[in-house]
Structures are given as structure tokens and as C-alpha cells.
Chains A and B, each alone.
Chain A
Amino acid sequence: MRNAFGIAKKEISSYFSSPMAYLIGAVFLVLTGVFFAQYLLATQEASMRGFFSPASFFLLLISPVITMRLIAEEQKMGTLELLLTSPVTDLQVVVGKFLASMAMISGMLLLTLYYFVLLLWVGSPDLGPVATGYFGLILLAGSILSVGLLASSFTSNQIVSAVVALGILLLLWLLGNLGSFFNSVPWARDILNYLSLSTHYSELVNGVLDTRDVVYYVSFIVLALFLTVRSLESRRWR
């Protein structure tokens, strides 16, 4: 674990040494802020819904930019050779990089608590849905970032990595919508709905904490990280 933290720490400081992290954070805050304010003014209700709904989709759009360089850049620069010949396991490398991207997104989400403070000031928001909403957002972020990391392990080109990640993510996101075409075949609809990244999230935003949703996201993350480790290993075997 110490090795994974060491790798995470290095990645985090390299995020902060480039303007990209600040830029992404700013874009995210401005966009979600606009939606939050608009919802607040239109409904006059002290709720975070106006933030949670668009936040998930914006997260999906910006995360590939956070993860794209994590492994691709190392392959391009050749530093992967130094990293993988250090006495660390591939799993530690993958977990370290994943934790770094999680820390970035978590930091960004922490800043959005400012919306909640604003709500406390203008009304009395219900705490439950806010807590489950943030919990959902973190789980969703983990899933999105793990796919981004996987895509980053496929290539030494950051742009390719981002595009591949976005493609996979949009597909997984829209599986729920696809489900509605299958209303006459209930089992197919249910499977598609279950697999979709978005459906589980809406449950959590509604304040419903169901273990099935948590299990879904956690298994999703574990699977994606596992595939990333395999993908790294296969680089070695080539």
C-alpha cells in the first residue's frame, strides 16, 4: 500500500504542476454552478438536485482528461520501463494512479459543498439526499476514472486514450436509454438498466441507499482496475 501511496502522491503533485487541473476544476465549477443556480431560482426549493443531475454528466465528460495521461504518458516517455522495473507490483501501480485521480475529483467535489452551504443559508435542505447524492457521485467518479485509466493503458497517445474512454463511458451511460426500446422484452430491459452507469446514480440522488447500487459501482471499479492490471501485464508479455 505504501508503494501505491507513493505513486499516488507523485501523480497528484504532477497534476498541480500543470494548469490542466485548475482549468478542469474551474470549468466543472462554473458549469455546475450555472445549473444549480438556475434550478434554485426556478423551483425555489432548497435542494441539491440542480447540482447532482448535471454534475454526473459533466464528470463523465471531463474525467477522461484527468486520466488520459496516467499510463499513456509513461509509455510514450519510456518512464514506464523505470516504474515497472522498480520493486512494485502492477497492481500497486494501477491502484496508485487510480487513487491520484480519485483525489483530484474528490477535491473538486469538496469545493462544490459551497452550494450546500449556500442552501443552508437560504433555507433548510434535507440532509439525507445530499449525503447519498455525494456518495453516489464519488462511486460514479470511481467508475468513470477506472475506465479512463483502463483506456490510458491501451495506448501511448493521450488523445486516443481520452477518446476511447469517452466512447466506452457514453455507451455505458446510454445503456439505460437503450433499455426503453426493449419494453416488450422485460428481462433484456432489466439487464440493460442494471448495467447502465446512470440508473444506479439516479437512485442515490433520490435519497435511496440500496446495496445493489453500491455493489454495482464497487464491482464495476474492481473489474475495470483488474482489466487495467491485465492490460499492463500484457504490455510486458508482448
Chain B
Amino acid sequence: MIEVEHLSKYYGNFMAIEDISFKVEKGEILGFLGPNGAGKTTTMRILTGYMPPTSGTARIAGYDIFFDSLKARREIGYLPESNPLYGDMSVRALLEFFGKLRGLDKKYLKRRISEVIEKMRLEEYAETDINKMSKGFRQRVGVAQAILHEPAVLILDEPTIGIDPVQVVETRQIIKELGKEHTIILSTHILPEVSMVCQKVIIVNEGHLIAADRPENLSIGISGQDKIKAVVRGPMREVAAALRDLNGVETVDYESTGVDGTARFNVSARINRDIREDLSKLIVNRGWGLLEMQPVGLSLEDVFVKLTTKEEI
């Protein structure tokens, strides 16, 4: 439904995104996760046809976003980052305006306007000017506008930013609901949001795509490879120092287990580096005792934090 191929965007000489590729299948909700400044908004603006990429292509529902821009745009409902809306229009007038621009015929538009007003529970505000509404209700108007023409694809840029916690929960519920009828890309810098709402996640950092998978796979895929709990019999400090010297190891901390001469070590290594064999060899070769070794699965959060903080080693 959405195919993104090698997208790059430079603002002048500044690289905002580089070589971003991913696919979203029909009916999926994709979480587009990354810290501020990662390039999420830039990518979404390219997909919605607001600006062209410096290089690369993308197709929405089969339409090239550059060569078939108008057709591609018809298939998209877009909720931009700060949810800009015409404040001097009533909800109904705004929906009428965008409905006409999207080429909906009168009868269908009329029906859809009452449907989305009902769906977003805006009945009481239908004739209210938008700048008189609270942020939470404006958010609903933004979503109403995006789904008005029943687009195949919804692109939501940080839809839960700047609204109160109750509305955040509500908005996530709405998005999940919308996922039944639309293919969705949802950007966020809030990690738990992805596990709550999305079936698939991609992580971007400083303009680069650094991981793409299902939220649960993302932790399974690298579990046991980079965080290990081990109980070792031997001189604590010496063991720790030896472990730190091991190729690929980043940090080591330890505590006594209480049992004489043994200690529990938490070893973490660089992503995608399996150090289990090296670790066990080392301990055996030095004549210490490896009593226990247990890989620890990383949560999505560990992955996110790990991937998006710069490695020092």
C-alpha cells in the first residue's frame, strides 16, 4: 500500500533524511519512531506531496508521489504535526471545504460529514468556530478532516503530542479503531505508544533508518546477544576487568551474590553481537567457574534508547 524507496531530502546542504526505504502492507499500522529532529515530519511531508524528495521515490496505493501526485494525494488523509486548521471556520464549513477540494460529490459529502462528526463525537461543536475549541477537540477535527474522504492511507504526524493524558488514551483508541479500515503511518517519539498501537515499527535517527520490524520481533531478534546475566565464581574485580576487555563488550557491572566467592555480572554488548561463546571460553580458560549464564531479552525501549543514543565505543 505504501512503498518507500531510497528517499533522501536535503535542506540546502543539511541532510534531513538519507536513503529511507520501507513498505507498509494494506491494513497495517506502522509506527514511525524516532527522537526529535530524526526526520519523521520531513518523510511524511514528502509522502503527502507537500514537498518533493531530493532523491528516491515512493508510491501510495500504486501511485507515484511525484509523477501521479494528484492521484496519490487523493488516497491520503493527513494530520500534520501541529494540526493546523482554519480557525475562522466552523467544523462543518471546514469539512465542506476539504470535501469539495477532494472532489467528493455533494450527496456523498453530506453523508460523510454527518458520519465523521458522529464518529469523532463532534455533534455539539459542528457549528462552532474552530479557534473557540479546546486542543483535544481540535485534534478530533483534525482526524475528522483526515478520514473524511475515506482515504486508503492515513498519515498521522505525532497525533498525541500536546494534548492531555486522557485525550492521549482516547486518541490511541481511535487510531487503533481506524486501523481496521485504513493503512496507517503514525509518527511518534514516545516509545510505549508504538507497542500499544502498531503492528510494525521502524526506527529513524538523524535521518537514517536503523531498524524495521514488528515491535515484538525487535526485542526477540537481538535477545541473548547483547545483554547477558552471568554468575561466576572467581575474584570479582579481575573477572570484571577481563570481561570489559572482551571484544564487543560495552559495560559490565556486578554484585556479590552472597554465596562466598561468586558474583552476578550484568554484561552488555554492542547490538547484534553474540558474545556468549567468547564469554564462556574466557571464563573457563582463566580457571574460574561459570555457574550460570542467561541472555536477557531487550525491551523495545532498550532498543530505542540504545539505537538512538550515540555509541561511544
The chain A residues found within 8 Å of chain B, CB to CB, are 2-3, 6-7, 10, 13-14, 17-18, 77-79, 81-89, 236-238
Contact = CB atoms under 8 A, between A and B. Distances in A.
B88 A18 contact: yes
Contact of A238 (B11, B80, B101): B11
B50 A85 contact: yes
Contacts of B22: none
A87 B70 contact: yes
Contacts of B152: none
A179 to B, nearest CB: 42
21 contacts: A3-B100, A7-B101, A10-B97, A14-B86, A77-B87, A78-B82, A78-B84, A79-B86, A81-B78, A81-B80, A82-B80, A82-B84, A82-B85, A82-B98, A82-B145, A84-B49, A86-B102, A87-B71, A87-B103, A88-B101, A236-B52
A82 B45 CA distance: 10
Given A86-B98, A89-B70, A81 B45 contact: yes
Given A78-B82, A89-B70, A14 B89 contact: yes
Interface of B: 11, 45, 48-52, 70-71, 73-74, 76, 78, 80, 82, 84-89, 93, 97-98, 100-103, 145
A6 B99 CA distance: 10
A99 to B, nearest CB: 15
Given A3-B101, A6-B101, A81-B80, A87 B87 contact: no
Given A6-B101, A77-B86, A87-B103, 16 more contacts: A6-B97, A10-B93, A14-B86, A14-B88, A77-B84, A78-B82, A81-B45, A81-B50, A82-B80, A82-B84, A84-B49, A86-B102, A87-B101, A87-B102, A88-B101, A236-B52
B73 A86 contact: yes
Majority SS of interface residues in chain A? helix
Nearest to B94: A10
B73 A87 contact: yes
Contacts of A78: 80, 82, 84
A79 B11 CA distance: 21
Among B51, B100, B101: residue with most chain A CB under 10 A: B101
Contacts of A87: 70-71, 73-74, 101-103
4 closest cross-chain pairs (CB), A and B: A78-B84, A85-B48, A6-B100, A86-B101
A153 B294 CA distance: 62
A86 B48 CA distance: 9
A68 to B, nearest CB: 16
Given A87-B73, A87-B74, A236-B52, A81 B84 contact: yes
A237 B52 contact: yes
A85 B80 CA distance: 10
Contacts of A18: 88
A238 B84 CA distance: 20
Contacts of B86: 10, 14, 77, 79
Contacts of B103: 87
Nearest to A93: B101
B100 A17 contact: no
B159 to A, nearest CB: 15
A146 B71 CA distance: 29
Contacts of B45: 81
A236 B50 contact: yes
A84 B84 CA distance: 13
Contacts of B76: 85
